[in-house]
Structure 1
Amino acid sequence: MPAASPAWRVEARATLALALPLVAANLLQMAVYAVDVIFVARLGPQSLAASSLSVSILGLLLWSSTGLVGAVSPLVAAELGRRRHAVREVRRSFRMGLWLSALASAVVLLLCAAGPWFMQATGQDADVVATARPFLHILMWSTPPAIVAAMLRSFVAAMGRAAVATLIIALGLAINIVGNYALVFGHFGCPALGLQGSAISSIVTTSGMLLAYVAVILTDRRLRRYHLFGRWWRADWVRFLDLLRVGLPICGTIVAEAGLFSGAAFLMGRIGEAELAGHTIALQIAAVAFQIPFGIAQAGTIRVGYAFGAGDRAGIARAGNAAIILGIAVMTLTASAMWFAPRQLLSLYVDTDAPENAVLVAFALQYMIVAAAFQLADGAQAVAAGALRGLQDTRVPMAIAVFGYWLPGFGTAIVLGFYTPLRGLGVWIGLAVGLLVVAILLLYRWSRRDRLLMSLSATTP
């Protein structure tokens, strides 16, 4: 079907209408994280390095857990595609999503407790590890409310309430700004707790967001009719296994991708403290830009899921293609901003004119040039993966991610980072190689969706 056809334009508008609040929510969520970086950066390079290593561990675990519980979204979308008022099926997915969130939270807490040991085992600076240990052991308690809130966010988006997430994360941003201002440097009569104050602020922020989601679910007229918290203790192992079937490969995919970037932080830590600090700031900017195609990917998952549930193959193609085209188009804009105005973007995080930041800024500027180059690949792989998730196709994309990120990607980062004069720049070239390989393979799999649909029709309940 031509891209200019009325049906395609209708789909593109529907995808945008769903994607815009999701993109806004993602950007606000990154702003919540950016607030932590902005305040911690003013405590000095050692505090920033300690925060970077801690967040690399916790962020990997949290992001992968949100992918796991985010399986609620394609399952609910497919049920609504099959039957507009699938009350019982929606409630089943929601209830088991809560169970899965609790399980994921327990696993994350255990792994975070071992985080300082992992830092030492990977050869990080002893002083940085000593600073990171108390910070991580406080920060990890922000993950249980964050994981449950992520599940609720995926659910309300699939239920057509994506704007709710935007408003709630805006509330979280306000809480985190006030919390960091009060607890890091000691305002409003609070003690100046430094790095630990930022961790406490994160706990307060994620808890407040979770309570806000619960309040919305209990009061929203459409959501209230599902009686979502009724009999939450009742097991439904068939639906629980459905969530695991879809969610575990999503979790694995995220571990592969996030692990690549977290692993890059540990490589940078071995290269040097200034390189790690520059990497942290440049990666923060790239991560903010990624939230735009990520929001489009989330919308693509839901739109493809609706069509998949309804058995509409033409609708599946329109929904996925519209999301992919929109994602790639948007990333050309973010790439241009990184290429032509890198110093201006860096100035949002650090004083680029301060002599003490000169080395950090020099490294960050190098890395942002590479980040600009891989923006298109990053957008393409994110949205293609999202479209495939709408088909509940997650296992092969996970295998693609593990291969692409860790063999061509991380392998190139190690070789160029430690066996050539490129050092930190070589690590970033490795990131670009991994993203490009995964994007090509995922787009190829999407192009073969008709054969994929035939196999899925025999296995999907």
Structure 2
Amino acid sequence: MTYPDHFRSLMRLGIPLIGGHIAQFAITLTDTVMLGWYSVEALASVVLGGTFFFVIFILGSGFAIAVMPLVAEADAEGDEVQLRRVTRMGLWLSVIFGVLVLPLFIFSQPILLGLQQEREVAELAQVYLRVAGFGLMPSLLVMVFKSYLAALGRTRVVFWVTVAAVPANGVVNYALIFGNWGFPELGVQGAAIASLVVQAVSLCGVVVYSAVAMKHHDLFGRLWRPDWDVFGRVLKLGVPIGVTNLAEVGLFAASSLMMGWLGTVQLAAHGIALNLASLAFMMHLGLSNAATVRAGNALGRKDADHMARGAKVAIAGSMVTAAVAVSVFLLFPEFLIGLFIDPDEPQRDAIMAIGVTLLWVAALFQVVDGLQVMALGILRGIQDTRGPMVIAAISYWVIGVPTGYVLGFVMGYEGVGVWAGLVIGLTAAAILLLWRFWGPDLRRLRAKFAASAEA
């Protein structure tokens, strides 16, 4: 394939996935905007509670993500039995994880207080999490089905299921947060109920599609029967992916906790800026998922040259996306931050001032954030997960978090210092992950494929 062919194939897979990720993110963004208009205290509590939920979700998502390269490889080899076995065990592991971690949501307030968060914010965050926590399992199951469908090139389905959830979430939010149309005014609890409803409906959507449109794979036949060999393979691949994700998301969660130490206004500004940076990240993530599928297909076909050219195209696409995000953040920071705050909010000016500065810092890490997630996507496609897990742990927790703490609190740069730690941690991860693929991994695969061809 030529580079233009690679680009077209990447976009054919990637654009619906980008749209799906943006739509998924729009659900969280809707919660943030509506609660920001409800009260600063509600916004701060859901920033904290949402971070708590996402940290646990992202750890459990490793099993769903592991399904994607394994199904892509099996599809390239024409092995329908294997792709069915992989998907089923991904569902099993997601259910088991969801049950095991549910108590963390129910008793989240003591955990948040132990992390030195303000009592009022922690109490309100627990109100949110005691409802939202029951949505973790359906969220993970939806992610397994999306990985299965994306690996088979059914990315448009992933897009439309997620898009349909956005207005549904907004409508239920509007009714339950503010008490419109005769519904009770529930504030943060209303936002949690809306998210739970949307996750359940989304799960029904992907289950029905998989049962009808993909019935030849017979995913649900004998679903209750264990397949311990494949269970172990998905577990072995998924745990490092989950821990890698946890290391990265933990970097941002740690930044949220440190911003919470600075006060409610700083935490609210941080939540707004982080939501905007995360929106830009969704574009990188969609391309990264597409790169995972394409690398998995190349692995199944034992084609290292195809894999290398595809990786170059994916990285170039991510850098174009980063350039657009940087331009928007630098040119329109006041407008973007202002979208999240009620014009009559007494602390609007303080939140705006902090949020605009943080958004400028966010512009700095767009390039390195895109590079590191693209490298992770490619490495997952070739089923290299343990090395990236170590790299992520070192980059984010040995370099990023301590640097953010020192700059923010020891040197007195506060929120800007905390966010500078994010930039430094992401930069270290990007450099090391790219080196791993283009250096030892690609050499190993070329030698392996050459030996296989000669045999």
* TM-score scaled by length of structure 1: 0.95
Which residue number in structure 2 is paired with residue 450 of structure 1? 442
Deviations 1:248-294 (A, max 9, x none): 11101110000010111110111111111100000000000000010
What is the CA distance between 1:136 and its match in structure 2?
1.2
- Distance across 2 between alignment mates of 1:103 and 1:209: 20
Of 145, 170, 178, which aligns to 2:171? 178
Compute the displacement of 1:352 (Å): 6.3
2:326 and 2:63 mapped to 1: Cα distance?
30
Alpha carbons 1:15, 1:299 under 8 Å: kept:
yes
Which of the numbers 19, 27, 33 marks the counterpart of 1:24?
A: 19
Partner of 1:51: 46
* C-alpha contact (below 8 Å) 1:21/1:162 kept by paired residues: yes
Answer yes or no: is 1:13 the counterpart of 2:8.
yes
Name the structure 2 match of 1:235.
226
Rounded to whole Å, the distance in 1 between the matches of 2:258 and 2:401 is 10
RMSD: 1.5
Match of 2:406 in 1: 415
Question: In the alignment, which residue of structure 1 is the partner of 2:136?
Answer: 143
Give the stretch that moved more between structures: 159-168 or 104-113: 104-113
Structure 1: state its 5+ residue gaps. Answer: 1-5
Aligned amino acid, residue 451 of structure 1: R
Q: Which SS does the other structure have where 1:184 is aligned?
A: helix
The 5 A counterparts of 1:301-340 are 301-340=292-331
Report the alpha carbon displacement of residue 452 of structure 1 after superposing the two structures with TM: 3.6
Q: Deviations over 1:220-245 (max 9, x none)?
A: 1xx11111110001111111111112
Q: Distance in 1 between matches of 2:311 and 2:108?
A: 38
Superposed CA offset, 1:138-173 (max 9, x none): 111111111100111111111111110111111111
Mapped to 2, the partners of 1:359 and 1:456 lie a distance apart of 58
**Counterpart AA for 2:159:** T
Partner deviation per Cα, 1:285-320 (whole Å, 9 max, x = no partner): 000000001000000000010010110111111222
Name the counterpart of 2:268. 277
Partner of 2:156: 163
Q: Alpha-carbon deviation of 1:339?
A: 1.1
Whole-Å separation in 2 of the counterparts to 1:285 and 1:353: 22
Cα separation, 1, equivalents of 2:296 and 2:125: 41
* Contact 1:92–1:239 (Cα < 8 Å) also in 2: yes
Aligned partners of 1:338 and 1:372 also within 8 Å: yes
Matches of 2:349 and 2:171, distance apart in 1 = 30
SS at match of 1:190: coil
**Cα distance in 2, alignment partners of residues 320 and 78 from structure 1:** 17
Give the aligned partner of residue 364 of structure 1: 355
- Structure 2: gaps (5+ residues): none
Match of 2:62 in 1: 67
Of the structure 1 ranges 348-357 and 251-260, higher mean CA displacement relative to structure 2 is found in 348-357
Alignment of 1:380-399 (within 5 A): 380-399=371-390
Q: Which residue identity lines up with residue 443 of structure 2 in the other structure?
A: R
CA contact (8 A) 1:253 1:397 kept: yes
Shift of 1:349: 1.9
For residues 218 and 68 of structure 1, what CA distance do their matches in structure 2 show?
21
SS in 1 for 2:178: coil
> Which amino acid counterpart does residue 201 of structure 1 have in structure 2?
A
Judge conservation of contact 1:79–1:309 (CA < 8 Å) in 2.
Answer: yes
- Cα distance, 1:129 vs structure 2: 1.6
Match runs of 1:124-273 below 5 Å = 124-220=117-213, 223-273=214-264
Residue 119 (structure 1) aligned with residue 112 (structure 2): yes
Conserved 8 A contact 2:135-2:196: yes
Q: Would the aligned equivalents of 1:352 and 1:361 in 2 still touch at CA under 8 Å?
A: no
Is 1:108–1:143's contact at 8 Å kept on the other side of the alignment? no
> CA contact under 8 A between 2:304 and 2:446: conserved in structure 1?
no
The 1:452/1:370 distance shift into structure 2, 3 A limit, reads farther
How many Å apart are 1:12 and its aligned residue? Answer: 1.1
1:380-425, Cα deviation, whole Å (9 max, x unpaired): 0010110011000011011100000111110111101111221111
Question: Deviation at 1:351?
Answer: 4.3
CA deviation digits over 1:191-249, x for unaligned, max 9?
111111111111101000000001111221xx111111100011111111111121111
Question: Retained in 1: the 8 A contact 2:55–2:253?
Answer: yes
Query: Residue type matched to 1:227 in 2?
Result: D
Cα deviation, 1:37-68, whole Å, max 9, x if unaligned, reads 11111221111111111111111111222233
2:38 counterpart SS class: coil
Instruction: Tell me whether 1:293 sits opposite 2:308 in the alignment.
Output: no
1:355: Cα distance to partner?
5.0
Alpha-carbon distance between aligned partners in 1 of 2:187 and 2:433, rounded to the nearest angstrom: 43
Check whether the contact 1:346–1:352 (CA below 8 A) recurs between aligned residues: no
One of 28, 41, 47 as aligned partner of 2:36? 41
The offset of 1:455, in angstroms, is: 8.4
- Cα distance in 2 between the residues matched to 1:107 and 1:57: 16
Q: Separation in 1 of the partners of 2:269 and 2:330?
A: 17
Give 2:416's match in structure 1, choosing from 418, 421, 425.
425
Pairwise CA distance, 1:456: 7.5
Within 2, Cα distance between the matches of 1:118 and 1:109? 14
Deviation at 1:115, TM superposition (A): 2.0
Task: State the match for 1:3 in structure 2.
Answer: none
Q: TM-score, normalised by structure 2?
A: 0.96
CA distance in 1, matches of 2:47, 2:254: 12
| AA aligned opposite 1:81 | A
Kept in 1, the 8 Å contact 2:338–2:352? The answer is: no
Per-residue CA deviation, residues 348-386 of structure 1 (Å, 9 max, x unaligned), is: 322468653110111111111110011000000010110
Deviation at 1:74, TM superposition (A): 0.2
Contact 2:14 2:290 in 1 (8 A): yes
* Aligned match of 1:95: 88
**Number of residue pairs matched by the alignment:** 449
Structure 1 position 103, deviation (Å): 1.2
